[in-house]
Structure 1
């Protein structure tokens, strides 16, 4: 009979799949190394088991011990599978920018999950680097993995992933492209491939907010390059020892939006449901397409599964909130479709100024149309009310008609955003949209700004 003695024996030998539609503008054969076929659904299974086995061999990890690691989720999953099979406890320290799905999955396989803030310096005691180290000193019989500087990380890919790619392409590979985080994959695979053929080009995919690209090109660790970003699994605000820059021919940076958009494209156009770093890798590959010739064989590695991101890149609301959806609004109705059923807040001419102020506070709005029995006859703006209040403290008890400004212009639902934008200026802060049947909605300058991609 042919079977695996435990789940760890199913790691590796993942397929190489030709990409067709998403890379149709690339004049070369493009193959994806789809690492979601590992049991933990990511490339990290390989190095997680290797790091544990090496720690067992030299005594750093003792029977019944606790494994502690800072992770973006995928390494934690690999460690969790190994911990279950081998009888260890696991504490995963994860940053709060990682998807809820990643955290839930880690808990489902028995890991204790500690969540830390993303927007702190690596040396900050609240960072997931610092918390991981602290927990390892406080927890008896524990071992801190430190995938960033642990040489077993890169060794796993030198011994496994690199040889697989070489054999699957029959040595014809000319370029290897992969997102860079801890550096283990690019360095391990790159070392093996360049030993086989020094002419193979190794390209790293970086993200804006990360230091890799500039450091590789200039040798300068520029802290001004560091800022918060959404893309998961790639980029760093430190220089992990596993990143061997001498093996890397170059980096290209990909925006958060492009990474998210291309993650969805891979699923829709290739039928391959993979994660955020795969989208970044494909967009990076397209940015590098001038590097390739028709006879080239380009291998791009897909790190993990799209199941980790169903609440993010594969969620329309999440994408829309960040301006990542490609269906850009063009008309008035596009700007208000998310809240079109919300009743328009108005104030009547004979109501008091205090009533308008109360409504602004309650609904957190800055502009209110003014009505009488004939329809819209004026408007009030919080800035105008504040200015009037400074001039006269009794203004709150005056009727709205004494302080109101001109009524807002009214457009139909098909009015172009460019037309609406021209109507909003320092003297006019909003536009009303006529939805028919006596219904109206308001568009402010913030709605226009939110539509800018």
Structure 2
């Protein structure tokens, strides 16, 4: 018989385990998915939201008539909106501007006020999402900043609920737990509990975007929302969440975006599980782990949220093609033009005009993207790090008439960034994106700038 609850708050948690029989076919170790997308708000963050609000009430930080403020990629804000509005609070969610638009719509549907702010700037920048919500919390009387990244009631939710559920559901047979790391609360609380109850027998594996600093990347941008740790090149002091305890994680599986996104799509099409892109990261990591295990092992992977929040992104063929993650077999794309154009030439924003002109001598069509400076580019150049376009003809004209000096920084005199088109787009689609006099497009492969072509 189905459970009967007095309110939606009582329905948080108690999510099922589902065996990934098709994706795990041929593996000796079974792989089970913890279906956190079946929480009332559609994500694992419902657990943390309830825990943080109850703790704030107990500690006198949140009083009747108060306001809950939080920075979120969407899911924690949704959980806070459900719990907070149900308990009579005003809720303001600062949402990352790159989050799927569905999340902001869901927040508003639950009665939260949404403030959009960037995360793709240095942490010290006053426009940064965390700084925006901090100011709101200071300015609004009776406001409480949930601060999921440093709030220890976040991992505690999983010590009390998620971990015990998994241990009971697997009859204590669980040997490996795989989850993404965002705030770190889920993997810290759940993994810590499982290690303790098993006497250290359970191995905890973090599933991380390839360039995230958690797993050893350089912090450059990626396309999977809600997990990983981004590091802007201009950030002075990199701060990791207090909710994350590094010692709980035994190892990391670093998963490229394409593998994450395509695995999320396979989950829907082969297992009937419509989950978000971070679930794709976690499942890809879990399958890697399971390949090295035997029949006495049991792998559990946590699926954080529903794919209904990403219908305009990972579950959209058009979006996947636009960002270079999807090439349809037999369709005319940009790959032949890309291969004919040759290697990408980019110019650091801090280079001088004279240096840029020399570099442009090897650039196809005499134009090159101007990019933020990093020591190297092991994960490719993200469009988010393209700040302009160096045009050889325009720079030569400026040098001739004196409007540009040889020692000027090219980032200060560059034109606007070229439009982008995924490698799977047709030349006709790419031509439609030409604007503002641009005669070429940036071709994206797996979300990274791979070259410049004139379609």
TM-score, structure 2 as length reference: 0.71
Aligned length: 349
In 2, are the aligned partners of 1:182 and 1:243 still within 8 Å (CA)?
A: yes
CA shift, 1:16, in A, is 0.3
CA shift, 1:314, in A, is 0.8
| Aligned position for 1:187 | 188
> Secondary structure at 2:296's aligned position in 1?
coil
Q: Gapped runs of 5+ residues in structure 2?
A: 231-238, 336-364, 367-390, 399-422, 429-438, 451-455
Take 1:262 and 1:451, find their aligned partners in 2: how far apart are those partners?
Answer: 17
| Runs of at least 4 residues off by over 3 Å | 333-336, 383-386, 445-453
Bigger shift: residues 77-86 or 234-243: 234-243
Take 1:50 and 1:116, find their aligned partners in 2: how far apart are those partners?
Answer: 26
> Secondary structure at 2:252's aligned position in 1?
strand
| Aligned position for 1:55 | 56
Question: Alpha carbons of 1:289 and 1:447: their partners in 2 closer, same or farther (altered >3 Å)?
Answer: farther
Answer 1 or 2: which has greater helix percent. Answer: 1
In 2, are the aligned partners of 1:48 and 1:78 still within 8 Å (CA)?
A: yes
Question: Alpha carbons of 1:301 and 1:141: their partners in 2 closer, same or farther (altered >3 Å)?
Answer: same
In 1, are the aligned partners of 2:85 and 2:91 still within 8 Å (CA)?
A: no
CA shift, 1:327, in A, is 2.9
Instruction: Show CA shifts across 1:107-138 (max 9, x none).
Output: 11111111112310122111111111111101
In 1, are the aligned partners of 2:70 and 2:145 still within 8 Å (CA)?
A: yes
CA shift, 1:24, in A, is 2.2
CA shift, 1:101, in A, is 0.2
Take 1:290 and 1:316, find their aligned partners in 2: how far apart are those partners?
Answer: 29
Take 2:442 and 2:155, find their aligned partners in 1: how far apart are those partners?
Answer: 48
| Aligned position for 1:229 | 222
CA shift, 1:191, in A, is 1.3
TM-score, structure 1 as length reference: 0.71
Is 1:307 aligned with 2:308?
A: yes
In 2, are the aligned partners of 1:123 and 1:129 still within 8 Å (CA)?
A: no
In 1, are the aligned partners of 2:184 and 2:244 still within 8 Å (CA)?
A: yes
Question: Alpha carbons of 1:320 and 1:68: their partners in 2 closer, same or farther (altered >3 Å)?
Answer: same
| Aligned position for 1:359 | none
Q: Gapped runs of 5+ residues in structure 1?
A: 215-223, 337-365, 368-382, 391-416, 418-430, 433-444
Question: Alpha carbons of 1:159 and 1:135: their partners in 2 closer, same or farther (altered >3 Å)?
Answer: same
CA shift, 1:450, in A, is 5.4
Question: Alpha carbons of 1:305 and 1:384: their partners in 2 closer, same or farther (altered >3 Å)?
Answer: closer
Instruction: Show CA shifts across 1:413-433 (max 9, x none).
Output: xxxx9xxxxxxxxxxxxx99x
Take 2:319 and 2:153, find their aligned partners in 1: how far apart are those partners?
Answer: 37
Report which of the two structures shows the higher radius of gyration computed on alpha carbons. 1
| Aligned position for 1:353 | none
Take 2:62 and 2:301, find their aligned partners in 1: how far apart are those partners?
Answer: 34
CA shift, 1:209, in A, is 3.4
| Aligned position for 1:203 | 205
| Aligned position for 1:287 | 288
| Aligned position for 1:46 | 47
> Secondary structure at 2:62's aligned position in 1?
coil
